[in-house]
C-alpha cells in the first residue's frame, strides 16, 4: 500500500507539468487570433492597392513608403525615377531594385524566347496602348521601331545599364506591379507578420490564413461581363496561401480598327498585336514579379507554346481562358492547380 502511495505522489508533479504544458500550447495557439487584422488601401502605379495583415499596429505609412520606393525606381510616369532618367539619357546608373527586376526580366525573356521584352515600349506606344498616345502604324513605321526593340540589346556593366541604341526605351510595366507586391510582402516578413494579403491592380501574394483562419480566397475574372451586377464575373475562385498570382488579359484593353479587334499585347518579334486565342493568362509562382512576367509572356506565346514553356517550369502553375475555333470560351490549366479550386 505504501509503495502504491509513493508511486502516485511521484506522478503528481508530472501531471501538473502536463496540464501546464497543455494550457501553454492552447494559449499560444489562441494568441494570433487575438491580434487584429489591419486593412490599408490607396493608389500607386496608376492603380489601386489593397492590403490585409494581422498586426497589433497599423503600418499603412510603411506600406506606402515601400511602394513609393518601387515607384521611384521603376515608374515610367515618374520623371525623376531611376528608369526615367535612364530612358532620357540623363543617367545610366541603376539602383538595387532596378537591378533585381532587370535580372529577373532578362531571365524570363531568355526562358520564353523573347516573348517577354522590356524594350517593346516604342511599339506599344505606336499602337496606342503605352504611356504615349499613338495611332495605327503602317508597316514602314513598325519595321523602323523594331530596330529599337530587343531584350538582348541591353547589358550591365557594373552599376551601369547599357543600351545598344541610346534611343531605346525600357519599360518595366509588365512586371513592376508584381515586384511592388513582392516588396510589400518583404516588409511584412521583416516585421514578423505571417498572415497577410497584398494586391496591386489584380496581382497578389497571400501568406498564412485570412481573418476567418482559412486559406485566402482569390478570384480569377471571367472575360464575360456580369449581366446582372455589371463588371466582371468570376471564372474560378482559388483557395491559396504562401503563393503569388498574376493575370494578364486582352479582353478589356483593345480597340476596333476597320472592324478588327486590336489588342494591347504586342509581339516583340513581329511588332504587331498578337492574334492568339488566349483571352487571359493567370500564373501562380513563387514570386509575384515572376508570375507577372510569365503571365504577360504567355499572352504573347499563345496556348501551345505557353504549355511547352510550362513543361520546363514545374514551379509555375497556369490557368488560361481562350477562345476555340467556334468562338466559345474554353479553359486549360496545369493539373496541379486543381487542388486550389473551391467548390
179, three cell numbers: 515586384
| CB within 8 Å of 126: residues ≥ 6 apart | 134, 135, 137, 141, 142, 145
Rounded to whole angstroms, the Cα distance separating 6 from 10 reads 6
Beta-carbon neighbour count of residue 114 at 10 Å? Answer: 19
Beta-carbon neighbour count of residue 258 at 10 Å? Answer: 6
pLDDT at 141: 87
pLDDT in tens, 318-335: 999 998 888 888 999 999
Nearest to 115 by CA among 321, 263, 309: 309
Rounded to whole angstroms, the Cα distance separating 118 from 161 reads 13
pLDDT in tens, 28-59: 444 455 899 999 999 999 899 999 999 999 99
What Å distances lie between residue 145 and 120, 257, 303, 321, CA to CA?
9, 21, 27, 31
CATH number for the 37-79+90-340 domain, one of 2.60.40.420, 3.30.70.250, 3.10.520.10, 3.10.20.30?
Answer: 3.10.520.10
pLDDT mean across residues, the chain = 86
Domain ranges of the chain: 37-79+90-340
Say whether pLDDT at 143 is over 70.
Answer: yes
pLDDT at 14: 54
Say whether pLDDT at 4 is over 50.
Answer: no
pLDDT in tens, 169-226: 999 999 999 999 999 999 999 999 999 999 999 999 999 999 999 999 999 988 765 4
pLDDT in tens, 126-137: 877 765 555 677
Amino acid at each position: 500500500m505504501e509503495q502504491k502511495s509513493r508511486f502516485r505522489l511521484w506522478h503528481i508533479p508530472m501531471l501538473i507539468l502536463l496540464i501546464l504544458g497543455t494550457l501553454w500550447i492552447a494559449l499560444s495557439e489562441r494568441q494570433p487570433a487575438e491580434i487584429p487584422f489591419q486593412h490599408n488601401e490607396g493608389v500607386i502605379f496608376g492603380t489601386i492597392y489593397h492590403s490585409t495583415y494581422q498586426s497589433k499596429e497599423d503600418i499603412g505609412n510603411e506600406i506606402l513608403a515601400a511602394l513609393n520606393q518601387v515607384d521611384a525606381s521603376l515608374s515610367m510616369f515618374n520623371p525623376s525615377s531611376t528608369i526615367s532618367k535612364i530612358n532620357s539619357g540623363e543617367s545610366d546608373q541603376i539602383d538595387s531594385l532596378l537591378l533585381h527586376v532587370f535580372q529577373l526580366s532578362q531571365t524570363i525573356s531568355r526562358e520564353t524566347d523573347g516573348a517577354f521584352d522590356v524594350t517593346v515600349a516604342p511599339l506599344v506606344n505606336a499602337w496606342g496602348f503605352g504611356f504615349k498616345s499613338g495611332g495605327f502604324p503602317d508597316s514602314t513605321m513598325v519595321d523602323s521601331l523594331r530596330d529599337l526593340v530587343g531584350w538582348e540589346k541591353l547589358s550591365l556593366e557594373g552599376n551601369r545599364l547599357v543600351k545598344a541604341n541610346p534611343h531605346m526605351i525600357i519599360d518595366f510595366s509588365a512586371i513592376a506591379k508584381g515586384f511592388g507586391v513582392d516588396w510589400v510582402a518583404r516588409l511584412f516578413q521583416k516585421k514578423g507578420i505571417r498572415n497577410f494579403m497584398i494586391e496591386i491592380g489584380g496581382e497578389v501574394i497571400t501568406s498564412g490564413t485570412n481573418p476567418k483562419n482559412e486559406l485566402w480566397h482569390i478570384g480569377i475574372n471571367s472575360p464575360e461581363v456580369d449581366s446582372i451586377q455589371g463588371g466582371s464575373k468570376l471564372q474560378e475562385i482559388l483557395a491559396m496561401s504562401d503563393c503569388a498570382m498574376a493575370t494578364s488579359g486582352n479582353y478589356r484593353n483593345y480597340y476596333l480598327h476597320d472592324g478588327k479587334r486590336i489588342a494591347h499585347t504586342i509581339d516583340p518579334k513581329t511588332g504587331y498585336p498578337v492574334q492568339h486565342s488566349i483571352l487571359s493568362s493567370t500564373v501562380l509562382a513563387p514570386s509575384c514579379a515572376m508570375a507577372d512576367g510569365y503571365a504577360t509572356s504567355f499572352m504573347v506565346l499563345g496556348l501551345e507554346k505557353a504549355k511547352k514553356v510550362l513543361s520546363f517550369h514545374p514551379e509555375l502553375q497556369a490557368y488560361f481562358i481562350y477562345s476555340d475555333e467556334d468562338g466559345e470560351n474554353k479553359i486549360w490549366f496545369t493539373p496541379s492547380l486543381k487542388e486550389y479550386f473551391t467548390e
